[in-house]
């Protein structure tokens, strides 16, 4: 229906320009909240009424007549009604709605995508320090980050996925000491066990493999253990590599991959931290007080100034963050999104302040508000009606691997994306395992499988997946006469299919992949209603092919949307 929308939008723009030169930019169509009010709504008459000093309903009547008299209106519109204070409710002809079926059949898995525009985006997500297994919060980040990358890619961006982690510092030292204690036979509860040590069983596994002199291989490193429990440096290197490997396995099970793993230590080794500090000092936005170096971040809207370098000479954690984001800009990423937990809220203002101060000094012209942040809340897990708070392996939290093992990769992804990122979420393991319509991912996947079952009966092969069916069914469906798709259930389904590109564009703009989950549930429900209302495999060949073309298009959009979320579209369930 893109051509329909383009034609009518051009007619509306011309009508608005005729009313008030320069007002064509207000031309847009909205989806009515109540479907019985029409297919599209226009609110421009109410926006122009006050500036023009005219009654909005009178303007609405004038716009109505202009649209009906236009070539596009005559071709695509069946009626326009003026409602309330000046709303225009447009009703499309059936043949206008039928255009979407052809568009989906032609574009297939690219339906909804926009052409590349050359702009580069970096999304940093998960970024878990290698001190333990990935927890469910990391899982929510992984699902959000991957879906957002997919959304931006669909809108023409060149997307770079990045995992940033601290491979030094206090937490890594705690990991090394914890592993060393286990290697020496000291365990949690013993008098010699350090108070802040990590208590999970995974520490014992690391120590056992270290003593066995094993070699671990992660995406970004390989380390062989010496087996000497007194060699803390080797223990540290081995433990970090071991947990990086474990995280790799978790991410592989979740089918999330990264283009680059970026080490915090490299910022120091490459001189980026020192260069950033020098720029901040040269900017005039720093000062010395109580033996510490401070950033006057209040100059950039922060609620108070922040310590950069403590009196002991060490840098606070936001300083390498500033250096890291300067490097992102210098690497050519005009847009950067960081996906982090809500506990990082306090770092946003100081990082942006540091980036702005250094940018001005270096003449980088980094825009205010760089980088963007998407903050998410943690996840509570329910199982058997009770909250699950710990994992034996992790010692203090439920791991991502636990959720995948208890349910499935598809269920975990869909569930973790089914609410706004900043909304508290309760993951119900029992619901995620249920094979009924109460389980949202099962409901959507079942709609796809149900269509595959019907389409399989049209195919000369035994294939079920529409991507395979295309070999012998798609050419037939592309030639189908769609004029028989004029019933209310068919038109409702086609209007919903036509919304998919807009859903992707808006979900991308709002960093809201949950909108895609809502859309898919609505589309599945609409399909089930259509299936119950009209038999697909009727004797009339023309009608059968038209209806098959419609459900084929529906299966394709369901599959596209599920793929956008990293969820499989099964052909059989």
In the prediction, which pLDDT does 71 show?
A: 96
More reliable by pLDDT, 473 or 285: 285
pTM of the predicted protein model: 0.91
Instruction: For residue 107, give the nearest of 470, 449, 454, 505 by alpha carbon.
Output: 470
For the stretch 363-390, pLDDT in tens is 999 999 999 999 999 899 999 999 998 6
Instruction: For residue 414, give the nearest of 287, 568, 554, 307 by alpha carbon.
Output: 568
In the prediction, which pLDDT does 391 show?
A: 62
Poorest-confidence range of 93-102, 462-471, 517-526, 529-538? 462-471
Burial pattern 153-175, b for ≥16 Cβ within 10 A else e, equals bbbebebbbbbbbbbeeeebeeb
Mean pLDDT, rounded, for 10-36: 91
For the stretch 336-358, pLDDT in tens is 999 999 999 989 999 999 999 99
Give the residue ranges of DSSP H helices in 108-225.
136-154, 170-183, 201-211
Mean residue pLDDT across the chain = 93
In the prediction, which pLDDT does 471 show?
A: 58
In the prediction, which pLDDT does 1 show?
A: 84
Poorest-confidence range of 113-117, 183-187, 471-475, 489-493? 471-475
More reliable by pLDDT, 190 or 397: 190
* Strand-pair partners of 221: 218
In the prediction, which pLDDT does 45 show?
A: 92
DSSP-derived 3-state class of residue 283:
helix
H or E stretch at 216: strand 215-218
In the prediction, which pLDDT does 234 show?
A: 97
> In angstroms, rounded to a whole number, what is the distance separating the alpha carbons of residues 321 and 306?
13
Local structure of residue 303 (DSSP, 8 states) = S
Question: Is the per-residue pLDDT at 37 higher than 90?
Answer: no
Residues whose CB falls within 8 Å of the CB of residue 75, separated by 6 or more in sequence, listed in order: 7, 93, 96
For the stretch 434-458, pLDDT in tens is 999 999 999 999 999 999 989 888 8
Tally of CA atoms within 13 A in the half-sphere of 181 that contains its CB: 22
> In angstroms, rounded to a whole number, what is the distance separating the alpha carbons of residues 438 and 160?
36
Q: Write down all domains in the chain, each with its CATH number in brackets.
A: 2-92 (3.30.1360.70), 177-240 (no CATH), 437-564 (1.10.730.10)
Question: Is the per-residue pLDDT at 298 higher than 90?
Answer: yes
> In angstroms, rounded to a whole number, what is the distance separating the alpha carbons of residues 378 and 344?
12
More reliable by pLDDT, 316 or 394: 316
The number of beta carbons lying within 10 Å of the beta carbon of residue 69 is: 11
CA distance to 92, 296, 350, 422, per residue, from 302 (Å)? 51, 9, 6, 22
In the prediction, which pLDDT does 149 show?
A: 98
Place of tokens 């390989």: 222
Mean pLDDT, rounded, for 35-59: 91
In the prediction, which pLDDT does 460 show?
A: 54
Q: How confident is the model at residue 463 (pLDDT cuts 50, 70, 90)?
A: very low
Question: Is the per-residue pLDDT at 38 higher than 60?
Answer: yes
Phi and psi at 41, nearest 5°, equal -125, 150
Is the torsion defined by CA of 461, 465, 468, 474 positive or negative?
A: positive
Residues whose CB falls within 8 Å of the CB of residue 25, separated by 6 or more in sequence, listed in order: none
Place of tokens 């001190």: 131
Q: How confident is the model at residue 462 (pLDDT cuts 50, 70, 90)?
A: very low
Question: Is the per-residue pLDDT at 469 higher than 70?
Answer: no
The number of beta carbons lying within 10 Å of the beta carbon of residue 449 is: 19
Mean pLDDT, rounded, for 227-232: 97
CA distance to 1, 113, 151, 393, 520, per residue, from 502 (Å)? 12, 10, 12, 44, 13
Question: Is the per-residue pLDDT at 395 higher than 70?
Answer: no
Is the torsion defined by CA of 398, 404, 406, 410 positive or negative?
A: positive
Residue-by-residue DSSP string for 495-564: HHHHTHHHHHHHHHHTT-THHHHHHHHHHHHHHHHHHHHS-SS-S-HHHHHHHHHHHHHHHHHHHHHHHH
């Amino acid at each position: 229906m893109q051509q329909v929308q383009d034609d009518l939008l051009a007619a509306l723009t011309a009508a608005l320009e005729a009313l008030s030169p320069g007002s064509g930019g207000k031309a847009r169509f909205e989806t009515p909240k109540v479907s019985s009010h029409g297919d599209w709504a226009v609110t421009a008459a109410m926006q122009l009424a006050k500036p023009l000093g005219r009654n909005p309903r009178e303007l609405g009547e004038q716009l109505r007549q202009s649209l009906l008299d236009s070539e596009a209106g005559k071709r695509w519109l069946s009626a326009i009604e003026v409602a309330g204070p000046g709303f225009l409710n447009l009703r499309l002809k059936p043949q206008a709605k039928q255009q979407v079926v052809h568009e989906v059949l032609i574009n297939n898995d690219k339906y909804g995508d926009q052409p590349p525009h050359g702009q580069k985006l970096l999304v940093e997500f998960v970024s878990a320090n290698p001190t333990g297994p990935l927890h469910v919060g990391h899982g929510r980040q992984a699902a959000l980050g991957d879906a957002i990358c997919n959304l931006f890619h669909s809108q023409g961006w060149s997307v770079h996925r990045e995992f940033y982690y601290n491979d030094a510092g206090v937490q890594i030292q705690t990991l090394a000491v914890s592993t060393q204690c286990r290697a020496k036979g000291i365990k949690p509860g013993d008098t010699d066990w350090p108070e802040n040590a990590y208590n999970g069983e995974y520490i014992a596994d690391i120590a056992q493999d270290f003593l066995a002199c094993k070699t671990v291989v992660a995406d970004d490193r390989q380390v062989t253990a010496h087996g000497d429990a007194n060699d803390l440096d080797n223990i540290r290197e081995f433990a970090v590599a071991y947990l990086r490997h474990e995280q790799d396995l978790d991410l592989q099970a979740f089918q999330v991959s990264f283009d680059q793993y970026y080490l915090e230590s490299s910022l120091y080794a490459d001189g980026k931290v020192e260069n950033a500090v020098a720029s901040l000092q040269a900017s005039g936005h720093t000062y010395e007080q109580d033996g510490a170096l401070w950033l006057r971040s209040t100059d950039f809207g922060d609620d108070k100034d922040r310590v950069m370098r403590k009196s002991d000479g060490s840098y606070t954690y936001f300083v390498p963050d500033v250096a890291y984001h300067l490097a992102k800009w210098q690497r050519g990423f005009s847009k950067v999104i960081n996906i982090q937990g809500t506990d990082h809220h306090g770092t946003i203002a100081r990082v942006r302040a540091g980036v702005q101060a250094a940018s001005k000094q270096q003449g980088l012209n980094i825009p205010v508000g760089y980088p963007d942040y998407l903050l998410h809340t943690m996840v509570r897990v329910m199982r058997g009606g009770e909250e699950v708070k710990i994992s034996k392996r992790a010692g203090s939290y439920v791991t991502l691997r636990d959720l995948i093992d208890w349910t499935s990769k598809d269920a975990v992804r869909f569930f973790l994306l089914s609410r706004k990122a900043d909304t508290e979420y309760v993951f119900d393991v029992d619901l995620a395992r249920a094979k009924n319509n109460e389980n949202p991912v099962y409901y959507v996947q079942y709609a796809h499988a149900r269509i595959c079952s019907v389409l399989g009966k049209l195919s000369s092969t035994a294939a079920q997946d529409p991507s395979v069916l295309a070999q012998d069914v798609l050419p037939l469906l592309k030639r189908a006469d769609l004029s028989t798709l004029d019933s209310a259930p068919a038109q409702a389904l086609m209007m919903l299919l036509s919304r998919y590109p807009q859903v992707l564009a808006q979900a991308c703009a709002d960093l809201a992949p949950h909108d895609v989950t809502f859309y898919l549930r609505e589309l599945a429900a609409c399909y089930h209603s259509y299936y119950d209302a009209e038999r697909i495999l009727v004797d009339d060949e023309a009608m059968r092919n038209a209806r098959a073309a419609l459900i084929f298009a529906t299966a394709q959009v369901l599959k596209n949307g599920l793929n956008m979320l990293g969820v499989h579209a099964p052909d059989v369930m």
